[in-house]
Structure 1
Amino acid sequence: MAITSANQLELLQTAEAVAREKMIDPDLVIQAMEETLARAAKSRYGSELDIRVNIDRKTGRATFARVRTVVEDDQVENHHAQLTVKQAKNYLANPQIGDEVIDEVPPVDLGRIAAQSGKQVLLQRVREAERDRQYEEFRDRKGSIINGVVKREEYGNVIVDVGRGEGILRRNEKIGREAYRIGDRIRCFIKDVRREVRGPQVFLSRTDPQFMAELFKMEVPEIYDGIIEIKAVARDPGSRAKIAVISYDNSIDPVGACVGMRGSRVQAVVNELQGEKIDIIPWNQDQATFLVNALQPAEVSKVVIDEEAGKIEVVVPDEQLSLAIGRRGQNVRLASQLTGLDIDIMTEAEESARRQAEFAERTKLFMDTLDVDEMMAQLLVSEGFGNLEEVAYVEVDELLSIDGFDEGTAAELQARARDYLEEQARKALENARKMGVEESLINFEGLTPQMLEALAKDGIKTLEDFATCADWELAGGWTTENGQRKKDEGILEAFDVSLEEAQTMVMTARVMLGWVDPTEMEAEAEDEADDSETEEAEA
């Protein structure tokens, strides 16, 4: 079939029809046709030639041209597609390097094989353009809700027709009790959009916490307008959920607005989520208050927060324990997800027993080390003294404030405490030297004899050994594995060495050894200070 015998207008009509069907730019289809014809021409005239085809966008006329590029004399590699400046003078008045010499060549006849090959190229280009269009469209809609129709089911995954493409709702993204038939309408959350070899993949979800947040945004105009903000969402899909909200308008109750008149708004979300029970909780900047709200409907007696460990202890009345934990730990698990803290729940009786055990332990410590009777030891514990250092180095006035303590008693207690601590330090230093700790480490400022003994037990005996330690190895820390927080015990953690203190000591050791230039440390510290000031100013 000769291209000249083809209906030229029909070429444009075909391009427009394909573009309309695939919802892509008609110019992309015409470009694909030009590439197809160029390939066919190369197979006729020779693959070493640079043949280009241009289809007129108005008339549909296809022009075939041979293109040769002007290069330097010693740069000619392909005589069929390149020519020198001297050769180009036969075609151009003043040829320059990079100019192109274009000669029109006769149109080609497309044989059966060339036509089939051209068709494959055309289909491939159109398919790529369609994929790019789909990716760009759905990428912008990531994080939003989309309506679709169930198309088919494959190995438990639901393929959803979402208009200009398909989305996949995996088994683990479906709410447990849900079952779909072909043709069912379905509402999903666009969780992710990825480019893959087989085309853009749109991953849908009905279990993602943000699906619930988007549903509330659709049902509650105040959320859509930004008057109410959803601060956190935690879900046990199909069973129960907690959502924390805050209002930026004092005249609007965030919980009441989300519930709606006679529960109409929240009920619409519940119906969409197959009856999932939803607790709407007022968000509070104070962690303890927020946690008390998050554990509703259980009542909380006391909250103790360990910010460094990221844990929180909650004390509840004995009869509220099962309610606070919830069925299979559901209530406390959702509260933990909502607040981002590990929560330990105990009853008032358990907390009382723990306090009594701590009281007895500290009482015994003072009795054994200070050689005092039980009553005096209990008085010290009752006044808040928890260790010998506090007794030894506290202001005398604090001891005198205890009923029955006079100056002589206070002085004697402090003398005994200091003698005991000095003896323990002497023994610890002696043990550290026996284990091979060098004087360079012993003389390092900030390390007590007990710390030296602990370091020696861990194989750290020289200043070089100490300088190679990481701050978390000394002070301890927390790591997350498989979603669970795991405690890393520090060598000096028992001595209340903070992460910042450990970092300072390690860097000081490195400076002493000449491993780090102190001027560079000062410059870095200044840069960090400038960055923090900039961030504060921007905030």
Structure 2
Amino acid sequence: MNNEALIDSFLDFKYEKNIDRVNLMAILEESIRCVLKKKYDSSENYDIIVNPDQGDLEIWRNRIVVKDGLLKDRNKEIELSVAKNIESDFEIGEEVTEKVELQSLGRRSILSLKQNLLSKINEYDNTNIYKKFKNKIGEIINVEVYHILSKHILVRDEEQNEMILPKKEQIPNDFFKKGDIIKALVKKVDWKDNKPIAILTRKNENFLEELLKLEIPEISDGIITIKKVNRIPGEKAKISVESHDDRIDPVGACVGMKGSRIHPIVRELKNENIDIINYTSNIQLYITRSLSPAKISIMEINEEKKCVNVYVKLEEISKAIGKNGQNIKLATQLTGYKINIFKDNHYEDDVELSEFSDEIEEKILEKFYKIGLNTAKSVLNYEKKHLIERTNIEKKIIEKIVSILKKEFEGELNNV
């Protein structure tokens, strides 16, 4: 193989792998130096000139002229008599530059060069693909199904890069056939057989979050923020959202007119039931909203232990818990509080604290509301020392309040 033939074959790689000119030259030079170093133990004294656009490749070896009989390194030195055969006026200590033809390196070296080139081009290509995949982590992409296996399906993007959608990353109701165009989120990038491979998912929370960004302009524009997403893939999801513009209802914007915005997402998720709630820092209200569609009678919040006892009417219990416990599970994940559901007969014939506003100051009532105590019996159910700790109200005031509330239930709460 001559220099021109090598360049021609190398250009085929350039167009196939879409390698830019600078990297093309660097790869070719590095590969030639590897061969020279293997053959001569060093490539430092070689100049390699590559012009892939014109198909030019030149290799020049530089050697220092030494006195006859004192040659120590044939690769870097040349005897005076040999140098004078090239040019008669060479003297000891001068540098002789000679052009090296590729054929002179020998068949084994040329074969090694071709293998080295192929290896470095593939390495370059794989590195580029890896970077491309890495930059897409967390993004939704459209891919085409081209091979279906028992544990995963193989898909390709528009550039024919191969990716994997594992069975465990699919929605339970997903069913694909060859040629289908599907949406999936790039979850991570692995290496398999020295090649980068993107692992896709349709199952995690980020997939749903990115679908919302695609479908709802207010989210992609930053007017509405997604605070948290929790889902049981293919079954149910709960999303809390917050608007940064008082004129925009975040829940209404996400649902759209007659569900026009949320319905395409529901279809993409194989009819996953999606609850969208308005985020609030008021934990009592946040828990109430998170348990929708159930209606809450009363709740007792323990902020220190991050748990809450929620009391609902008998007909609301199944709604609060949900099918297979899905509603309470997602509400717990969304709020970060362990939620316990109880039938509210404990608070039958209870009285709202607001009814005592003529006897208890509003700022005191607010402290009870803040910890989820809205009725007389919810306060009386607490030990006094716990009420003092949680409300930071003085002991004598707590005792007075308890006394006022007890009078409401005289003859009924003898043991409180």
Output one character per residue of 1:1-29: Cα deviation in whole Å (capped at 9) or x when no partner: 343xx35xx82x54444223213323323
Of 207, 210, 213, 2:206 maps to 210
Q: Judge conservation of contact 1:294–1:335 (CA < 8 Å) in 2.
A: yes
Q: Distance in 2 between matches of 1:102 and 1:317?
A: 99
Q: Distance in 1 between matches of 2:233 and 2:74?
A: 67
The correspondence of residues 40-119 of structure 1 with structure 2, limited to 5 A, is: 40-42=35-37, 46-48=40-42, 50=44, 51=46, 53-66=48-61, 91=93, 103-109=97-103, 111-119=106-114
Of 18, 25, 47, 2:13 maps to 18
Q: Which has the higher strand share?
A: 2
SS in 2 for 1:188: strand
Of 248, 261, 268, 1:265 maps to 261
Q: Distance in 1 between matches of 2:397 and 2:210?
A: 62
Q: Which residue of 1 aligns with 2:152?
A: 157
RMSD of Structure 2 on Structure 1 (CA)? 3.5
Q: Judge conservation of contact 1:188–1:205 (CA < 8 Å) in 2.
A: yes
Q: Which residue of 2 aligns with 1:136?
A: 131
SS in 1 for 2:127: helix
- Structure 1 residue 238: Cα displacement: 0.7
- Pick closer, same or farther for the CA change 1:281–1:91 going to 2, 3 Å: farther
Q: Distance in 1 between matches of 2:317 and 2:96?
A: 87
- Pick closer, same or farther for the CA change 1:343–1:79 going to 2, 3 Å: farther
Q: Distance in 2 between matches of 1:397 and 1:283?
A: 32
SS in 2 for 1:191: strand
Q: Distance in 1 between matches of 2:43 and 2:143?
A: 50
Letter in 2 for 1:114: S
Q: Judge conservation of contact 2:313–2:344 (CA < 8 Å) in 1.
A: yes
- Structure 1 residue 386: Cα displacement: 5.5
SS in 2 for 1:268: helix
Q: Distance in 2 between matches of 1:292 and 1:382?
A: 20
Letter in 1 for 2:116: V
Q: Distance in 2 between matches of 1:397 and 1:302?
A: 20
Letter in 2 for 1:228: I
The correspondence of residues 286-297 of structure 1 with structure 2, limited to 5 A, is: 286-297=282-293
SS in 2 for 1:176: coil
- Structure 1 residue 350: Cα displacement: 6.0
Letter in 1 for 2:153: V
Q: Distance in 1 between matches of 2:305 and 2:127?
A: 47
Q: Distance in 1 between matches of 2:333 and 2:231?
A: 9
Which is bigger in relative contact order (C-alpha 8 A, separation at least 6)? 2
Q: Judge conservation of contact 1:15–1:26 (CA < 8 Å) in 2.
A: no
Q: Distance in 1 between matches of 2:243 and 2:189?
A: 32
Letter in 2 for 1:273: L
Q: Which residue of 1 aligns with 2:185?
A: 189
- Structure 1 residue 60: Cα displacement: 3.2
- Pick closer, same or farther for the CA change 1:322–1:37 going to 2, 3 Å: same
Q: Which residue of 1 aligns with 2:412?
A: none
- Pick closer, same or farther for the CA change 1:132–1:121 going to 2, 3 Å: same
Q: Judge conservation of contact 2:384–2:398 (CA < 8 Å) in 1.
A: no
- Structure 1 residue 47: Cα displacement: 2.9
Output one character per residue of 1:431-452: Cα deviation in whole Å (capped at 9) or x when no partner: xxxxxxxxxxxxxxxxxxxxxx
- Structure 1 residue 295: Cα displacement: 0.6
- Structure 1 residue 396: Cα displacement: 12
Q: Where in structure 1 are there 5+ consecutive unaligned residues? A: 70-77, 84-88, 93-100, 353-380, 404-539
SS in 2 for 1:200: strand
Of 224, 228, 240, 1:228 maps to 224
Q: Distance in 2 between matches of 1:321 and 1:210?
A: 30
Output one character per residue of 1:63-97: Cα deviation in whole Å (capped at 9) or x when no partner: 2234689xxxxxxxx957789xxxxx9557xxxxx
Output one character per residue of 1:428-475: Cα deviation in whole Å (capped at 9) or x when no partner: xxxxxxxxxxxxxxxxxxxxxxxxxxxxxxxxxxxxxxxxxxxxxxxx
SS in 2 for 1:231: strand
- Structure 1 residue 149: Cα displacement: 0.5
- Structure 1 residue 334: Cα displacement: 0.9
- Structure 1 residue 325: Cα displacement: 0.6
Q: Judge conservation of contact 2:33–2:43 (CA < 8 Å) in 1.
A: no
Bigger shift: 152-161 or 292-301?
152-161
- Pick closer, same or farther for the CA change 1:338–1:61 going to 2, 3 Å: same
Q: Distance in 2 between matches of 1:396 and 1:127?
A: 78
Q: Which has the higher helix share?
A: 1
Number of equivalences: 344
Q: Distance in 2 between matches of 1:382 and 1:167?
A: 58
- Structure 1 residue 398: Cα displacement: 6.0
- Pick closer, same or farther for the CA change 1:259–1:402 going to 2, 3 Å: closer
Bigger shift: 313-322 or 14-23?
14-23
Output one character per residue of 1:180-205: Cα deviation in whole Å (capped at 9) or x when no partner: 22211111011223456623231211
| Residue 331 of structure 2 is aligned to residue 330 of structure 1 | no
- Pick closer, same or farther for the CA change 1:119–1:264 going to 2, 3 Å: same
SS in 1 for 2:117: helix
- Pick closer, same or farther for the CA change 1:385–1:338 going to 2, 3 Å: closer
Q: Where in structure 2 are there 5+ consecutive unaligned residues? A: 65-71, 78-90, 349-379, 405-416
Q: Distance in 2 between matches of 1:333 and 1:137?
A: 37
